[in-house]
Amino acid sequence: MHAKSPSFIILLIIIASTLLRITLAESIGLGVDESYVVAIARNLSLSYFDHPPLHFWIIWLTAHLTGSENALVLRLPFIILFTGTTWMMYRLGSKLFGEWAGVYSALLLNVSAVFSLSTGSWLLPDGPLMFLMLAAVLVLTEIFFESESTWRHWFAVALLVGFGMLAKYHAIFLALGSLLFLLTSKAHRRLLYTAKPYFAAGTAAIVFLPVILWNKEHHWISFLFHSARGTAKGFFPLKMLANIAGQALWILPWIWLPLISILLKRSFDGPGNPTSLQNRRWFLCCLAVGPIALFTAATLWGAQGLFHWQAPGYLVAIPLLGQAVAGWTQQGSRITQIWLTGTVSIFLVLATVLGIHTSTGWLRQIQPQWFVSGDPTTEALNWSNLPPYLKEHGLFDSSAKFVVAAHWIDAGKIDYVLEGKFPVLCLNNEPHHFAFLHKPNDFKGKDALIIGRKDVIEKALSLYQPRFASIKFIGTLPITRAGVPEFDLAVYYAHDFSGTFPMPYE
């Protein structure tokens, strides 16, 4: 293995990026979504309110095998998955456009914030989704460009797409993108006259059955929840522009701009000759366009648009930029070399600065004006001083039999840090999957601890007071970072629950 060979460089990328993610995973607490999914994953289910079940299952299995809910322990499978994703990105770029295109594709993947930091280690559905997506795209590449259209290959695609849909609904865009490619590529259209694609679609649907069965038993709530996010509310061009800016920020602007430019250019080029590089580019365009176009356009009519929803589309577009970078580098482009060096350097600086700030809050001490509107990194604080506080006040040994939280974020943080010692009821109009864990009537006549962020609890007290015989204020508990208070939790003791509360989703 030569020091500057593609295989050496990709090995270096994998080792360095994996070590970075392990370091960050060990030093940063769980985010609000992560705490929530760990708490929810303790209850094994066919599916869940927010997402399909795969990442919940991974967390459940990891916790049971290791006997630990430590952040690093739970994140390790997701870090390992992203190591595989990096390798497959290299293999995809290599298969389609040559080894150096694969190297640059893998490098760009690992210096983009939404992929390397979020997908690369957090306890979210995106990690398993993107691992399975790239695995499926690799097999589709063999089918479409290496004359490997066997039943075995189509069965592999079916399993990968099916399990991808068990990770996140976005995996459906693999099927839709493949269909678009088959319809528009003349030489490949003949595959639609064979049974194999339909066999694959049917098999993927069977793999997806756990989600269908759970939703059937729960009034199709997951599908209704997500479809409601796309409801038209008017015409909001500024909202769409803000969403595009958010996408660029998550990808990182100096990567997003050339990436979207290359994607648009290759899309306008069209399918081309079946054996040409142009047709291979068109294949990636067909897979990428769905999530990017749909979730961006939806914000135009006021639908909710989180900045990472388009990420699966950008994922499969990365080899297009990888090929372009390989070409520019081969031509000796000085600008490309400066851009690559700057991209890697800036990413490492950003990851280091944000990682240290999330752990210590040091930036707020230096530049407090940056955080006038709040500090999103406080979401990664584990409320680890809550159990000692409850023990100190004798609340672990009291007559309280359950905990009430007024927001699903609070419920997730509390349930995670209490390690399941109390059942947690999220009594509000948006409890997410907590609505399916416990029924309020099962706690009729029992005492409860009401815990949560002080401002959240104060707003909810008027709802809770008619449902308890009495509610007593215990005190407030500051949540600190590096010894500095960030916000307060409020703790109340509530006597004799009526067992009634108007829960949604029923």
What is the separation, in whole angstroms, between the first and last Cα of the chain? Answer: 61
Q: Who wins on pLDDT, 234 or 257?
A: 257
Question: What are the backbone dihedrals phi and psi of residue 404, each rounded to the nearest 5 degrees, phi first?
Answer: -110, 130
Q: Does the pLDDT of residue 436 top 70, yes or no?
A: yes
Top pLDDT among 506 and 489 is at 489
The reply to whether 277 and 417 lie within a common domain is: no
Quote the distance between the C-alpha of residue 337 and its chain's center. Answer: 31
- Both 348 and 401 in a single domain? no
Structural domain contains residue 370: no
Q: Name the more confident of 276 and 142.
A: 142
Q: Which residues contact 273 (CB under 8 A, 6 or more apart)?
A: 279
43 and 189 both lie in a single domain: yes
Give the chain's domain count.
2
64 and 159 belong to one structural domain: yes
State phi, psi for 4 to the nearest 5 degrees: -115, 20
> Across 259-396, where does the E strand assignment appear?
none
390 & 316 share domain: no
* pLDDT for residue 364: 83
The pLDDT tens digits for 86-96 are: 999 999 999 99
Residue 227: the pLDDT is 87
Domain boundary among 306, 335, 354: 354
Separation of alpha carbons 292 and 294, rounded Å:
6
Q: What pLDDT score does 187 carry?
A: 86
Asked if residue 453 belongs to a domain, the reply is: yes
Written as one letter, the residue type at 374 is G
> Does pLDDT of 2 surpass 70?
no
279/287 Cα distance (integer angstroms): 13
Is 174 inside a domain boundary? yes
- 446-491 confidence digits (pLDDT tens): 999 999 999 999 999 999 999 999 999 999 999 999 888 999 999 9
Residues 33 and 121 in one domain: yes
Helix (DSSP H) and strand (DSSP E) numbers for the chain: 21, 5
User: Which of 339, 354, 369 finishes a domain?
Assistant: 354
pTM for the model stands at 0.95
pLDDT digits (tens, 9 = 90+) for 289-314: 999 999 999 999 888 788 889 999 99
Residue 356 pLDDT: 92
H or E element at residue 477: strand 468-481
Q: In terms of residues, how long is the chain?
A: 506
Whether residues 97 and 200 share a domain: the answer is yes
Cβ(97)–Cβ(145) below 8 Å: no
Is residue 262 domain-resident?
yes
- The whole-number pLDDT of residue 3 equals 58
Query: What pLDDT is attached to residue 500?
Result: 92
Our CA dihedral for 367, 250, 69, 403, rounded to 10 degrees, sits at 70
Q: What is the DSSP letter of 117?
A: I
Residue 104 lies in a domain: yes
47, part of any domain: yes
Residues 389 and 312 in one domain: no
Whether the predicted pLDDT of 506 surpasses 80: no
Shared domain for 329 and 388, answered yes or no, is: no
Instruction: Tell me the C-alpha distance between 268 and 272, whole Å.
Output: 11
- Asked if residue 368 belongs to a domain, the reply is no
Q: What pLDDT is stored for residue 216 in this prediction?
A: 96
Instruction: Report if residue 106 sits inside a domain.
Output: yes
Domain of residue 433 covers 381-497
DSSP conformational letter for 443:
G
Domain match, 230 and 350 both: yes
Domain limit, last residue, from 337, 354, 371 = 354
Check pLDDT > 90 for residue 439: yes
Q: Are 23 and 72 in contact (CB under 8 A)?
A: no
Are the beta carbons of 90 and 105 closer than 8 angstroms? yes
According to the 3-state scheme, what is the secondary structure of 437-487?
CCCHHHHCCCEEEEEEEHHHHHHHHHHHHHHEEEEEEEEEEEEEECCEEEE
Same domain, 136 and 276: yes
pLDDT digits (tens, 9 = 90+) for 318-377: 999 999 999 999 999 999 999 999 999 999 999 999 999 999 988 888 888 888 888 899
Tokens found for residue 380:
């990664």
Residues 400, 253: one domain?
Answer: no
- Using the predicted structure, report yes or no on whether residue 407 has a pLDDT greater than 80: yes
How many other CB atoms are found less than 10 A from the CB of residue 399? 10
